[in-house]
Structure 1
Amino acid sequence: MSGVDQGAFAALRTQLQDAAASFADGPDALADILLGIVDDVDRALREPLEIFPVCHHSPASALAMARRLREKQPKVVYLELCEDMAPLLTELRNCRLPVAVQAFATEVEGFPVEWAPLSVVAPITEASAEYQAIAYALDTPGVELVLVDRSADHVFQWQEQGARTAEPADPDAPPAEEEAALHGDAIGVELGDLRPRFVELEEHLLHHGRVRHWSEWWHQYVELPLGDSDHDTYRQVMFLIGSLFRRLAPGNPHEVRVDEDRERYMWTRVREHLTATGTDPAECLYVCGAFHAASRVAEFGVHGSDTFEISPPSASTWQYGLIPSSHAAIEAQFGLAAGSVSIAATEWAKNVRRTGVRPFRLAGQTGASKPGKRAKPAGPATPSAPADPVPATAPSDKLAGFLRRPPVLDRLDEAELLGWSVEIVRAARRNGYLASTADAIAVFETSILLAGMRDRAKPTPYDFQDAAITCIEKDVVPGRRDVRRLVEIMMGGDRIGQVGYDALPPLARDVHDRLAPLNLKLQQRGVHRALLDIAGQPELERCSDVLWMLRYLLPDGAARPIMGERRLGERPIQESWDVALGTHQRALIELGYEGVSIEQVLEQRLRRAAHDPRATAATVLEAVEDATLYLRGHRLANELGEHALEVLARERSVDGAPDVLRRVRRLLAYYRTSEPALPPWIESFVKTGYAHYCTLLPTAFTDADATVDQVAAMLGFLFSMESLALSLGCDRTQLELALAQSHPVEPSKVALSWAAQVQLGRLSRAELRSRCDDLLANPMVLPAYPRYLSGFLHALEPVPGLVDFVVEAVSNAFRRLPDPVLLPWLPTLVSTLRSGGAELAPLLIREAARIFPGRLAALDEWVPPWLAPPVPDAVRPTPRADRGGGVALLAAHPATCDAVARLLGCDLVWESVASDPPGAALVTRHPDTATALEELLANRWR
């Protein structure tokens, strides 16, 4: 087998050397670059193993690939794709393209912790050369597909520290929509990333090409000319472009090392396979990006050196699967212009129709032709049809002719352009634009004008897009979509892929199976409404459990409850849900990497949250509550509860006291109503928490970092859990000593301390009222009085019995405080009530409604109870010595006596004489009850 003729590019070398001497002061620098490019092309063509250079998502590359595969029919296809993704490729036939092959790792070892989770995606579209190679290899008997690129683990091994960022998107692109986020924050790996890395070169090409972004330049000056070229011309041009971008790339040491290591890695894998199988290189095809095809490493070629050592993978656990992709997601991740991938898909369909080339498609692929009309398999047409041999002589120099050939001026297709103009006006009207027939004519003429200004005989889709924006959008976007987006949709739309049921991980399939009774099309994108009549169909309660767990695990919008809620101790009756699992398919698939069931994943996440080094007692209690709420079991809740006890004992701050109080109250209420006995862990938690907060109480009262609501929550825990703590062996003296050692200075905490002393009986209400009066009478303290009131408001958490006093104190403040003091305090009052509005505001409102008059007319004559004069003894009913107290009261209200008698189980017999009032016999039997009732009412009147 002879190599390429040494004189094949002699004429081109001479022309480039003369050009270098003409345009440069000396021929050395420019000549080395230009002649080096020719050497790279010559070297790639001389390689016995045919190299097929491609560009990602290029219709010209896909068309040339389909044509070459049918001509050559190779026995082995080497493909530049992560080698560990090979087992997933067979599942592509169960999906609707575009989809992305994903490698995902949550258990990270050997990499920085902040990188987790690790994710690598390789998007695949139908208009791509890699898909043509995959479809050919998988559906042709006797053909082997070998992936030779670095593994997903090596992608991160070769990643620079702190450099885990995707390529920035085009600055002129519109804001990304939901479809643009389908890949998440994964690192993208694509076959044939062909773009200048020399910024000045790209700017020069865009300026002289009269285009706005790189995608448009590639479409105009590479895609269209190569669409109808022969195989040899295609290869040489792609080698030339790859070598040009390679030699003019800036010398970033890290990027150069990664590029060269990737080439060494791939050629090492190729030679290993050739050696192991004994395959003739002439029967193989190596598909790689044009940037890597023109390589100068020593390992290049089947006869290259074997000095490259592949490092072993890390200890990270990798999971693999397919996730849905979209044109917008590919554009956003790889910095392409918005709409470029959709335009490429449209161009691919036009090229297939124009050239008659039969593309390859996986059998059973969603959207493929019916079996009766599907293209024939790519196998040999007849048993005697041999594969294309490597030519004995090299192909002739096609570069010189291609570079000298003027651009082909396509005839204007007026019908196509007119159809575009009419369709964009129709779409604009549907989206709220005031477009008319005149706008369609303007778009038509402007498209031709822009193409002429850019030296084009035929307007490209990009010219048409600019014309439509100029003539229709102007400066107003009335709807959700702008004209740029409407043109993209019209040109083919943002095609969104879908992973089929058979290609889903076990967890995702299990979710679909368990939600099957809802009769929803969960595979379809969009929101689906589910109505669950659990009372009438008890079997739907299992679906409710799944939906609530999905709501906890998946992003917002995947499962959203419209009606119904889940609380401790309550059973659902009816629920209504908005379910969008098809839209959030990627999140559901990535959930499947963590376990085989959602219960397992939920348990793992709860354990991870509880055992996080930064977890607090409140965080662990939240995990306990979620485990009880969603998993309906005691094993995990008890385990996490024991851990909450350990975390609480280690805490030295009171930051989480409010959350701890709320969650412990809810759990206690649940266990007391649903279980025969309290779990041991919560008894220990209450006992430990009582001693823990008593120890921290004196410090918290004086600590400036401890807020008043945090101290109030501590007191709320101590007072509300006191009876249980004392029954478990705690000593109340510890609380009394802690309060005695507390000496707060801040006014709100001082008021909180007074309230706690009232609760303990160390301070009477009369003394508390006297202290408040002294504060109002002191001009020096008067500006700080609202802060005392804020403390009393927070005191309703630990001492709710002070609600009447708080109403009295607030009323006195509004009556006596001057406006300069009162008005600035009102925002504080509102914020305090808002923060504790769920519990504090109802208490105040009910008490105020009981005290204040119900009618506006009665307000002028109303006297507050705390300002009313005491009732003289003469008007109070005097009990008869021989009949017991309360006789007059009971005689005045016999109906009340009857009601009380029924409650006590007494006979309704009124025994009396003429001189005795009714009820005397009842009072005689129960004198203590009547006296206690009288005193209670008298004290309330007082």
Structure 2
Amino acid sequence: MSQVFEPLRQQLIEAAEAFADGPAALPEILTGLVSDVDHATAEPLEIFPVCHHSPASALAMGRRLREKQPKVVYLELCEDLQPLLTELRNCKLPVALQAFASELDGFPADWGPLSVVAPITEASAEYQAIAYALETPGVELVLVDRSSDHVFQWSPDSSEEHTEVEDDLHGDAVGVEIGDLRPRFAELEEHLLHHGRVRHWSEWWDQYVEQPLANADHDTYRQVMTLIGSLFRRLTPEGTRRLAIDEQRERYMWTRIRAHLATSGVDRDDCLYICGAFHAVSRVAEAGSEPGTPDLEITPRTGTEWLYGLIPSSHSAIEAQFGLAPGSVSIAAATWQKGLTRSKLTPFRLEGQKGGRRRARKALPPAPVVPGPTADRLTEYLAAPPPPGGLDDEELRGWCVDVVRLARRNGYLASTADAIAVYETSVLLANMRGRARPTPYDFQDAAVTCIEKDVVPGRRDVRRLCEILLGGDKVGQVGYEALPPLAKDVYDRLEPLGLDLTSRTIRRALIDLVGQPELAPCSRLLWRLKYLLPGPALRTVMGSQRLGEKSVQESWDLDLGRHQRTVIELGYEGVTVEQVLEQRLRRSVRDPKATAAEALTAVEDSLRLLESPRLTDELGVRAVELLAAERTVDDAPLVLGRIRRLIAYFESRPGGALPAWCQQFVTAGYAHYCTLLPTAFADEETGVRQVAAMLGFLFSMESLALSLGCERMQLELAVKQSVPFGPAKTALFWAAGHQLGDLAVADLRERSDELLANPLVVPSFPQYVSGFVHALEPVPRLAPFVVEILSKAFARLPDPVLLPWLPTLITTLKQEAAELVPLLTREAGRTFPGALPALDGWTAPWERKTAPATSMPVLSPDASLARRLVDSHPVTALAVARILGQPDEWSKAATESDSGGPVLLLEQYPDTATAVAALVG
């Protein structure tokens, strides 16, 4: 250990002894900090500690690269991201390097999709190193951090979607008691914020680290950043998961560095190792560039196929990933530009960088002589007060005027007096906080205090206006050349629209499919993108694409410029939009949790969006398999609605033939619901809506199912074996009996009247009504009867029963039977008078008295059964009578009495009527 820092070490020991009442570990921590700085600076391979997205680190990096001119740069970044670096030339920063995997091999399926991102900004040391290495001839850039695959291999808990972000200095270290009581980072942060008179960590870091180090020399910067990294490392308790992962990363990086040194033969003096300050003070056994240092045994990658690309990033996204205060990255960008101006430093920038000027490649001038041994810069830095930084008077006045101008544009009643108040308040806050000059954070607080009102008049508050003044939430953009094939294909195919799709503003696309049929491919592509990209990237203003419908004119709001990331990530799933759409449809029906209703939706989507009969048949066959495997009927309403739409669509096409899978679905559904019907009627958990949907499927598909080989006896047995639970299902059961011919409307009316006449049943009568309302799904011809019992309920139910039921009825109709309301409305319109004066002389049809029936002869049991038959089916009985040759007598008798016709038929042809009755059961 060198003697350079021995005086500082002695001062810290004396300070620790002065605080004898403090933690017993304090002397160890303080002296350990100096030892870590001494150890890191003594490493033959120069370690350059950085804070990610720090303008001070970027300025120091730019100066050091011009001084040292290393031939090899080792950078802490996932090694498999290296091929993406050259594509940064085609982008506008900030952007993020991304590795993405959706099809996993070697990881649990519920971890997917896996994503690793590393954001890059111009005001970052990483970008300066990348630009230097790629633009300087003879310089090699080597990424040495774990591969994206190893990020998840070594992560003990990856059940949620991962986003890998380079470690910032404050991390999430939490202290625990290990022997002596050690200070925790949360306590240290609270202490620093209180005594630094700042509101959050970002402001403290800017005040006490960024500003003092902005113009510091290389030794001072390196020692201070190493000291800070050591502090955070020593406040991280041993044995924590976070520390174990960090140490494994350090072993990985040093193993890669030594392997490259051995194979390339480059001198360590010509190399530079750039890493986070936390990793610069690593004490793991594998740390160091000496040849005899042990290596980490790196496991092979899994079989997961990783996809790589660039995605747009933004200041707000970086702040969220690193836990920074809102607006801090924008302030850092402003500090970076100010530092460049003051130091007259020319930053490194990739040639052709979008947003920057092109420059010719040229070699750097010869490197100056490297100074001698490192001197102690820490003592002077720690003893001296922070230099006056912040805003000078001219800059502060300009900001005050500009923020008032922005406030006026956004609806605030701001004036010149407010600009003066913001200026004076900024100075006052800086003095109260012990600062020589106001900082951007003081200016923000002053602007909010002086301009903010009780109500924000526009979309932006004053704090957001201050961020805009500092540069706003800058959003990067990936250039066309760096896009994946799918994204390029999307932009190429939408080019006929004549819109700038890279614009940051919403573009309106007007498509006239009659006058401009050449735009039809664009329309189809937009509908497919809308399906794949839910959200604000595309919005339909006019036009629809329901099954079997075609729009004549369409209007779209396109915002692909601000949502470029979604299109890029779509490119990780396939080469074309159609391929991705086909894969997603297949994946949706093959999911272990897929249902028959979801499979029918996939079939419908394939018909709307793709022209692939083969895919449609494949999805349909899968729908049949899922329906047969289901053991519940929760999705019966969805299944009924979707299969009805599909059958109507196929029957409307030329030929009207149903595909084989659709016929199989009808027969399988008929048998499936017949089997589950008794259980559904008796199950308390199964709702009346589900049972009604089952009956709707059975009754509406009955003729088709019978023509395909099903037997009606299945349905009749299923209904007879059913024992309904509750009043609603009982009413539904009666409706099913009516549909099967077992109950006439008169029988239903008689039963409902008995229920209303029974005081014990009256409180539950609304539930019977609910069941009859749901019965309109399987038996729509009961609409007159449902209107009748609703009218009777409103007329006869007592107020304590009726009034609480009305909101429930309205809610039920809206949520569960909205499609049945038009049917009830039309029937009510036919039943009730259309004008108010007609109500005085109006009598309800069910209350009108009919002529007394003639005396009926006593019939035999067979004749009685035949009479029930002709009573239930008078039209059929009339047709039989005409076939038998006596239409006049039958018609005359039928008009004289409600029951005369059937009696006459029975008297004249008793054997025929009995035979027909026996035939139909």
Q: TM-score, with normalisation over the residues of structure 2?
A: 0.89
Structure 1 pair 731–201 and aligned structure 2 pair: CA distance change class (3 A): same
Matched, 1:333 2:321: yes
Q: Is the 8 A contact 1:121 1:186 kept in 2?
A: no
Structure 1 pair 836–307 and aligned structure 2 pair: CA distance change class (3 A): closer
Superposed CA RMSD in Å reads 2.6
Report the 3-state secondary structure (helix = DSSP H, G, I; strand = E; otherwise coil) of the residue aligned with 1:285: strand
Give the aligned residue type for 1:351: G
Q: Which residue of 2 aligns with 1:84?
A: 80
Q: Which residue of 1 aligns with 2:617?
A: 638
Distance 2:331 2:4 in 1: 37
Task: Give the superposition deviation at 1:234.
Answer: 1.3
Task: Give the superposition deviation at 1:380.
Answer: 3.2
Distance 2:688 2:537 in 1: 39
Q: Which residue of 2 aligns with 1:400?
A: 379
Matched, 1:760 2:736: no
Q: 2:261 aligns with which of 255, 269, 274?
A: 274
Task: Give the superposition deviation at 1:191.
Answer: 6.1
Q: 1:420 aligns with which of 396, 399, 415?
A: 399
Distance 1:221 1:557 in 2: 41
Task: Give the superposition deviation at 1:252.
Answer: 4.6
Higher mean displacement: 640-649 or 15-24: 15-24
Q: Is the 8 A contact 2:169 2:229 kept in 1?
A: no
Q: Which residue of 2 aligns with 1:840?
A: 820
Matched, 1:22 2:18: yes
Q: 1:8 aligns with which of 4, 8, 20?
A: 4
Task: Give the superposition deviation at 1:159.
Answer: 2.1
Q: Is the 8 A contact 2:486 2:574 kept in 1?
A: yes
Structure 1 pair 478–929 and aligned structure 2 pair: CA distance change class (3 A): farther
Distance 1:513 1:675 in 2: 35
Distance 2:640 2:475 in 1: 48
Give the aligned residue type for 1:345: A
Matched, 1:850 2:830: yes
What percentage of aligned pairs have identical amino acids?
65
Distance 1:136 1:695 in 2: 74
Matched, 1:288 2:281: no
Distance 1:848 1:760 in 2: 25
Q: 1:257 aligns with which of 244, 250, 256?
A: 244
Matched, 1:565 2:544: yes
Matched, 1:301 2:288: yes
Q: Is the 8 A contact 1:54 1:192 kept in 2?
A: no
Structure 1 pair 934–106 and aligned structure 2 pair: CA distance change class (3 A): farther
Q: Which residue of 2 aligns with 1:599?
A: 578
Distance 1:564 1:814 in 2: 42
Q: Is the 8 A contact 2:390 2:439 kept in 1?
A: no
> CA deviation digits over 1:381-429, x for unaligned, max 9?
3xxx3x46765x4122222222222332359722211111122222222
Q: Which residue of 2 aligns with 1:364?
A: 352
Report the 3-state secondary structure (helix = DSSP H, G, I; strand = E; otherwise coil) of the residue aligned with 1:729: coil
> CA deviation digits over 1:676-712, x for unaligned, max 9?
3211111111111111111111111111111111111
Higher mean displacement: 797-806 or 249-258: 249-258
Q: Which residue of 2 aligns with 1:229?
A: 216
Task: Give the superposition deviation at 1:163.
Answer: 7.8
Give the aligned residue type for 1:397: D
Distance 2:491 2:893 in 1: 68
Matched, 1:865 2:849: no
Distance 2:496 2:344 in 1: 47
Q: Which residue of 2 aligns with 1:778?
A: 758
Give the aligned residue type for 1:301: G
Q: Is the 8 A contact 1:194 1:289 kept in 2?
A: no
Matched, 1:708 2:688: yes
Distance 1:317 1:193 in 2: 32
Report the 3-state secondary structure (helix = DSSP H, G, I; strand = E; otherwise coil) of the residue aligned with 1:557: coil
Q: Which residue of 2 aligns with 1:719?
A: 699
Structure 1 pair 937–788 and aligned structure 2 pair: CA distance change class (3 A): farther
Distance 1:74 1:398 in 2: 24
Matched, 1:666 2:645: yes
Q: Which residue of 1 aligns with 2:364?
A: 380
Task: Give the superposition deviation at 1:837.
Answer: 4.8
The equivalences for 1:69-80 within 5 A come to 69-80=65-76
Distance 1:820 1:703 in 2: 30
Distance 2:463 2:545 in 1: 44
> CA deviation digits over 1:492-522, x for unaligned, max 9?
1111111111111111111111111111221
Task: Give the superposition deviation at 1:269.
Answer: 0.5
Matched, 1:140 2:136: yes
Q: Which residue of 2 aligns with 1:797?
A: 777
Distance 1:249 1:937 in 2: 101
Task: Give the superposition deviation at 1:239.
Answer: 1.4
Distance 1:694 1:196 in 2: 59
Q: Which residue of 1 aligns with 2:597?
A: 618
Distance 2:135 2:600 in 1: 55
> CA deviation digits over 1:237-295, x for unaligned, max 9?
11122112222233352122112111111111111111111111111111111111112
Distance 2:849 2:574 in 1: 73
Report the 3-state secondary structure (helix = DSSP H, G, I; strand = E; otherwise coil) of the residue aligned with 2:311: strand
Q: Which residue of 2 aligns with 1:917?
A: none
Structure 1 pair 774–39 and aligned structure 2 pair: CA distance change class (3 A): same
Q: Which residue of 2 aligns with 1:355?
A: 343
Q: Is the 8 A contact 1:192 1:288 kept in 2?
A: no
Task: Give the superposition deviation at 1:340.
Answer: 0.6
Q: Which residue of 2 aligns with 1:167?
A: none
Q: Which residue of 1 aligns with 2:862?
A: none
Distance 1:305 1:403 in 2: 34
Q: Is the 8 A contact 2:689 2:816 kept in 1?
A: no
Distance 2:788 2:126 in 1: 79
Q: Is the 8 A contact 1:657 1:710 kept in 2?
A: yes
Distance 1:693 1:936 in 2: 42
Higher mean displacement: 579-588 or 140-149: 579-588
Q: Is the 8 A contact 2:96 2:311 kept in 1?
A: yes
Distance 1:416 1:648 in 2: 71
Report the 3-state secondary structure (helix = DSSP H, G, I; strand = E; otherwise coil) of the residue aligned with 1:85: helix
Distance 1:367 1:577 in 2: 29
Report the 3-state secondary structure (helix = DSSP H, G, I; strand = E; otherwise coil) of the residue aligned with 1:495: coil
| 5+ long unaligned stretches in structure 2 | 174-184, 854-884, 902-921
Distance 1:38 1:196 in 2: 23
Q: 2:472 aligns with which of 493, 504, 521?
A: 493
Distance 2:779 2:390 in 1: 87
Distance 1:933 1:113 in 2: 77
Q: Is the 8 A contact 2:165 2:322 kept in 1?
A: no
Q: Is the 8 A contact 2:390 2:438 kept in 1?
A: no
Q: Which residue of 2 aligns with 1:578?
A: 557
Structure 1 pair 349–936 and aligned structure 2 pair: CA distance change class (3 A): farther
Q: Which residue of 2 aligns with 1:887?
A: none
Q: Which residue of 2 aligns with 1:747?
A: 727
> CA deviation digits over 1:631-674, x for unaligned, max 9?
12211111111111111111121111111111110110111111
Structure 1 pair 773–41 and aligned structure 2 pair: CA distance change class (3 A): same
Distance 1:52 1:691 in 2: 73
Q: Is the 8 A contact 2:165 2:321 kept in 1?
A: no
Q: Which residue of 2 aligns with 1:188?
A: 164
Q: Which residue of 2 aligns with 1:831?
A: 811
Task: Give the superposition deviation at 1:930.
Answer: 14
Q: 1:342 aligns with which of 330, 333, 341?
A: 330
Q: Is the 8 A contact 2:634 2:690 kept in 1?
A: yes
Report the 3-state secondary structure (helix = DSSP H, G, I; strand = E; otherwise coil) of the residue aligned with 2:220: helix
Report the 3-state secondary structure (helix = DSSP H, G, I; strand = E; otherwise coil) of the residue aligned with 1:705: coil
Q: 2:411 aligns with which of 407, 432, 445?
A: 432
Q: Which residue of 2 aligns with 1:31?
A: 27
Report the 3-state secondary structure (helix = DSSP H, G, I; strand = E; otherwise coil) of the residue aligned with 2:102: strand
Structure 1 pair 564–149 and aligned structure 2 pair: CA distance change class (3 A): same
Report the 3-state secondary structure (helix = DSSP H, G, I; strand = E; otherwise coil) of the residue aligned with 2:193: helix
Q: 1:629 aligns with which of 584, 596, 608?
A: 608
Report the 3-state secondary structure (helix = DSSP H, G, I; strand = E; otherwise coil) of the residue aligned with 2:385: coil
Q: 4+ residue runs of structure 1 moved beyond 6 angstroms?
A: 25-28, 926-939
| 5+ long unaligned stretches in structure 1 | 165-184, 874-925
Q: Is the 8 A contact 1:206 1:212 kept in 2?
A: yes
